[in-house]
Structure 1
Amino acid sequence: MKRLLIVLGLAAALLTAVGATHAQTAGEGAVRAAITAVDASRFPEIHVYLTVQDAGGRHIPGLTPAAFSLTENQAPVAAASLLEAEVGVQVVFVLEVNAAFKTRDAAGASRLDYLREALLGYVQEGMKDGDDLTILAPEGELIAHVSAAAPIVDALNRYTTEYAGAADPLALLSAGLNFASDVTPRPGMRRIMVVAANGLAPATDAQALADLVARAQATQVQIHTVFVGPEAGLETVGARNLQALSAPTGGQHTLLQGPAALQPILQSLADQRKQYRLSYRSALNLTGQHRLAVTIQLPDGAASAAPEFTFPLRVEPPIVSLPSLPARIDPATSAGDYPVPVQVTFPDGHPRPLQQAELLVDGQTVDRREAVEVVALTWPLGGYTAGLTRTVQVRLTDELGLSAESKPVEVFVAAPADVLAPTAAQQAERPPEPGLLVAGLVAGLLLAVGLVAAWVWGRPLLAAALSTPRPPRARPAEPVRRPQPPADPARLKDTMPLKLPPAPARRLHLPRVTVPRWKAAARAGRQPAVGRAYLEVVEPGGGGAPEAPLELVGPVLRLGRDPGLAEAVFPDRSVSRLHARIAETRPGVFTIFDEGSTSGTWVNFTQVAVDTGHELASGDLINLGRVQLRFRLRDLPGEARGNGRDPHPLAGA
């Protein structure tokens, strides 16, 4: 009996410990949250996309706005709305196929067959139209950024390999990370990379691995790893190097023991299609990088704080003008109030409501409107007794508290006594007065009666006069027409001259177009100038790149995808429209600056800060998305070389 009581006591203690451990896990690690994207295209309204998952990587549904707490630059903001939507995932599968993939089981299926079967099942059954998928192998791209299942299935079925493996596994992983970091087709899509490999060699540079993890974290890429090999190999250095990619990025690590081994990872992809979209009205009124943080509190008490998310924003005051204000206004023809149309533009591309708009005449407010969107102010003209030139101006404040004033416009306002008498042409266009119409009708009637009476009484006299013959009359001579002398100026002394204010002077400013010197030389057929430095194209990316080295002959060279914004153009989706610029900050010293690009600017696999830039050394490797460049300094005659630093050890120069 005593022994039974001891056993029951131990069991109760064990259950209590297990319950406490479970409660601690639920309260601390059961919820994982991350901000996947911030959409400020409709600023001041901002959309924040978040993924909220449990410890197993499954989406947690049914949360309410009360569960989320937002801070913008550490200032609390209230979420206006919450939407739970399926936005899709952007997935990259990297298959580092080597000899370990050839091993077959008793049924003759190889490990590569396991992977092929698992991927085909995911594409045909688990993939949806909103997903974006890329598959890389040592031989190259099998498929890139495709959302339809048919071409992916065809590429997987046609894939053959020599099982030689990649010459540089880290380069293959870096290429996969570039694809995963590309701009997603829709905001909020989760970026995921799945790596299947027989580990990473023990000689793998630890710093290079750390740089890959840092890039993945900076671009919100989650990495899952699949060890392709025997179970005993999980304890090797190569397997641990592979696992080091998944743990810091929130991914899973598994052993490939059959097609079903990938099911937890593939299920995680499906679960991450659903995201929460929080919308709120921002109060930011400064251009720069801004920080957003979100904390989630579940009904059961579990909580999680999403890592802080940084996003760029351009905010500028509005521009206001008076486009159609005339040079002269006559109060007698304006019914006392004159409408003043106002044109408002937003140079930052974010139209927003106005808090207040004022119309100023000679510095005094004559009309004020609150909370207006389309501005049409009123100028009261009834109080003016003398004709004077008035200065008109508009002042307004937008929703963010940013103010703007229009340029002063001078307008001559005529007093009622100064209004000119109407001309004969204007009088002819006026409708006749009612009294004049009545008088005209009476006069016409009397004239008609007189004509009838004359006809009746005067017919006999007229007949007698016509019957009496008369001698013919001589025809008078034609008068001689002589030219009239010019009008005497003295007779015009009572005529009032028409005086109008002078028309405002207009000046034509033509824009100055600056053509880069190396482009101008190419257009003219001359040999391009040679600069102190140049860029070699190491990896052109998917869209092609300039074949010749890019000479740095001017003070600044801009790099990007848009020919209208950059001189060095790389038509690849991974490159932003204006990605980066290289400036000669001191003679022979060049610094690269990031221009707020999506995938970031990297020098020797280290991300360049937006605000400080990075000073370049000869031989440095520059990554702009999938495009890779090498910076070179050139010894010009009579000049010292750059900053004198040796090339970076990773440059491989």
Structure 2
Amino acid sequence: MPLKIFKPTPLFNNRAPRHEVGWISRLFICALLLVFLSIQTLAVLAAVLPQPQPSLEVRNIDTREFPLIRAEVKLRNLPDPAVDKLDATTLQILEDENILPVRSVVENYEGFHLALAINPGIALAWRDVNGISRYDKLIRAFTQLNQSLVPGSGHRFSLYINPDYEQTGFTDLDSLLIALADYPGNMRQMQSSIISLQHALEALSADESGQDKTLLYITVLPLLGEDVLLDEMLQTALDHHITINIWLTENPEVSTYPQVSHLRNLAEGSGGSMFLFSGSEPIPDPTSYVLGLGKRYQISYLSQVRTSGEHQLGLSLQTSEGVVTSPNITFSVEVLPAKVEFINLPQTISVQTAADGSLSPAELPLEITVNFPDSHPRSITRASLWINGNLYQENTSAPYFSFRVNLTEFPESQRLSLQAKISDELGLTGQSALAPLDLEVIPAPSSPSSAFWRNPWFLGLLGALFVGLLTFIVLPARRKRTRLAKKVPLPEAGDLPLPPAQKILATLTRLDSDNIPLPEKPIPISQELTIIGRDPELCQLSFADPALEPMHCQLRMLPEGKFRLTDFHSKAGTWVNYAPVGQSGLILQQGDIIHIGSLTFRFGSGSGVASDLRGSSEENVEPVEKDTVSPDSLSS
């Protein structure tokens, strides 16, 4: 049988009719146009798919240290993670439309969640001349990621392989690699499916830990008809901030297949990339996929909020490709002025005027306490005391909370209106309630003789009386007394009048814990007003007792001769016969037991003091021998 040689018919046959040649040319041109339009359609489709944008997220605003505010900041999809940094020089605060500087930026590393999804198939099982499969090469490259991971950084790993091999909850990459080696499937017999990608994406979407999430998908060429599912996965990845990187194992000629275009859109649209591996290309370093992941920033700034309520906070970051701003987040804060109160302010105070015009006490110390009802303590910049609506004293440095009132500036009895004001570092001013203080100024004791000597008319009259007395009475009487001197006997000592006891108006006798008098002498009370306390400069009677206030109480003699004991709103209190003494005071009786701070006294009234003095005087008088007065002694 003769051998027939097959010769292919040329596409353009010179012997073919011309009308056939024209038809074939038109068909070829239409095919080229169709391919061009398909490529353009895919390009447009890729352009309209959503793309990840650089973003700033503000969360967990902490106002407990107001006006210092802290917040957590999360960065995503920076243009260049190796270059773009978040620090105090690149970040600005936007608070209620006000631009404020950042006080501090602290970087914290919290790890990331990485999921490895594999779609096995025969293309992964193909081996090179050395017997190494494409799958082994890809997994070997994936293990390089372990070199950049720090143990104990909080990373989590998950594994998903078709059809239903899932291993999750790993805290180190070695555990995932062991689970990967235990996979029982035969890749040469597996049919392509994107189910492992779906399961991995669903698990990452449900992760609410706040960690960064990334997915590496090792796959063979997906089946036709799964394009729509891939596009839906892209939107899911964007909604949950999941970055997807894809390693596609196929021959280079599949790059024009529609499945490849959708895979590329899924990877690049989520912020990742796609790599086509035919067995010989350099495999990307997976370390680049986690660069910049796992970082969280703690920022702080000084707020300019001065009113309570809701406020807006946003951020602005300068990057290598422009400015990235965060959405505003609402936070609430309560801002109130300081609460100011006087400490132990008496309702009344009596001031005794001495004969020389000085006052006792001459000063009134005042103290205030300051609290912040909004629970945001802050520095004090100014404190002031106002008396009767006028600024009396201002403190612009520590101690802020102490004032001293010079009582000599108020020579008359009157009611004073006191108020303290505090200004803090926010410029807010708090003030106390108006506090009345009844000031009683007791004039110096005056005698008729002192008033007489201060009157010039009385002095002139006195001079005239003295001249008349000398002329008409004194000289004649002197001669008469000389004659009668021998007849007048000298009085006995027992008949002499006792010295008056007006200078000792009352006594306080110290008692021990059993109310037994101590051996020390009783304390004499010789003034109508006696201030008792710890400060010797402010009190007539002072004791070094820590339980006493600087001005603790006052003992005042009433016109009828009795004494009233009044407490100055002291902490330890003042007690008479174990009953508390209020600011209205209590009239004392002979023998009353008085507790002042930790001291105990027995009160002695004025009548008791006078009788005691009279009795003691009579015991000490010695009789003297009677004698007569000689004329010579009288005349002298």
- TM-score bin, normalised by smaller chain: 0.3 to 0.5
Query: Rg bigger for which structure?
Result: 2
User: Please, what TM-score do these two structures have when normalized by structure 2?
Assistant: 0.46
User: Please, what TM-score do these two structures have when normalized by structure 1?
Assistant: 0.45
